[in-house]
Chains A and B, each alone.
Chain A
Amino acid sequence: MRSQMCASCGHFFEVEERFAGGIVNCPACGRATEVAGLRDPLWKGLVIAAVVGWIGASSFVASTWGLVPGLAAAAALGLLLWLISRAF
């Protein structure tokens, strides 16, 4: 259980963990209020890994073959990452 304050009326109430990051109705005023979410360490890790990989791979291509292929690799990898994110 976690403590939650209604954004509309300021009433404090308890909500179950499964509602974390979601929306519940305040038991006092009945209005929907957002519940603070869990931190998403997995997601943050994935995003950081993707960005580091993207910069690293583009820099490697740029240092090996030059700036234009490096920029092209950055664009292609960025597009690929965006398409992967769309698939989920």
Chain B
Amino acid sequence: MAFDLTAYTIRRKVLKIFGASFHIYDPSGNVVGFSKQKAFKLKEDIRVYSDASMAEELLTVKARQVIDFSAAYDIVDAGESRKVGAARRKGFASIVQDTWEILDEDDRPVAKVREDSLALALVRRFLSNLVPQKFMVEKEGGGKEAELRVRFNPFIYKLDVRVDPGATLDRRLILGAAVLVSAIEGRQR
């Protein structure tokens, strides 16, 4: 299952007109998950399944509001039918440097997902978006938990996720955040 892996790649499916979908691959290239962003929904609704047949749903990621500058997305373990936390995009901070807060089920911040450096973030925004994005997932109070790295590929969006072996953050939150980064930030390319 995608939750158990310490390394995986999220690849956006090309030639999809409505909505977006992503395949999740393990380091050997096997599909370990499939994510689908529903089209024509007022509120963002992203589902993560165990494979492309969409028979087994793993995660549900849903926006709380239609328009929200600092949008919050609840992350639910579909198997247990239990909310595991949320991810909130920091609207003002993200204008210059993409920043997300990872929250626990009671909305307490537990980690941050932040674009690697302010200088590179500015280059990506104002000079060229060909410089691939890199995000660090850090626990509140410090300590790297994971790294999300977009591969240099102007045509196909690929995001490599590397979870630190000693990471204590819920892997479902990391996967949810990675899918959100792919769907929301990846769309702005």
Listed in ascending order, the chain A residues whose CB lies under 8 Å from chain B are: 8, 18-25, 30-32, 37-38, 40, 42-43, 46, 86-88
Specify the chain B residue showing the minimal Cβ separation from A88: B67
Closest to B105 in A: A25
Given the contacts A23-B74, A24-B83, A32-B83, A40 and B67 also touching, CB distance less than 8 Å? yes
Taking a contact as CB atoms under 8 Å apart, the answer to whether A32 and B65 are in contact is no
Task: Tell which of A18, A22, A24, A88 has the most Cβ of chain B within 10 Å.
Answer: A22
Q: Report how many A-B pairs have Cβ atoms within 8 Å.
A: 47
The one of B42, B64, B83, B86 that contacts A43, using a Cβ cutoff of 8 Å: B42
Residues of B within 8 A of A87 (CB): 188
A38 to B81, CA, bound (A): 23
Chain B residues within 8 Å of A, Cβ to Cβ: 42-43, 62-67, 72, 74, 76, 81-83, 86, 105, 107, 187-188
In the bound complex, what is the Cα–Cα distance between A40 and B72 (angstroms)?
A: 15
Q: How far is the CB of B72 from chain A (nearest CB, A)?
A: 7
Docked complex Cα distance between A46 and B62 (Å): 22
The residue in chain B whose Cβ has the minimal distance to the Cβ of A39 is: B66
- Report yes or no: B65 in contact with A37, Cβ–Cβ below 8 A: yes
Question: Smallest distance from the beta carbon of B27 to chain A beta carbons, Å?
Answer: 31
Contacts A42-B67, A43-B42, A43-B67; A30 near B72 (Cβ below 8 A): no
Contact status of A40 and B105, CB under 8 A, knowing A21-B43, A86-B187:
no
The answer for the CA separation of A30 and B80 in the assembled complex, in Å, is 9
Specify which chain A residues have a CB less than 8 angstroms from the CB of B81 in the assembled complex: 8, 31-32
Whether A38 lies near B82 (C-beta < 8 A) is no
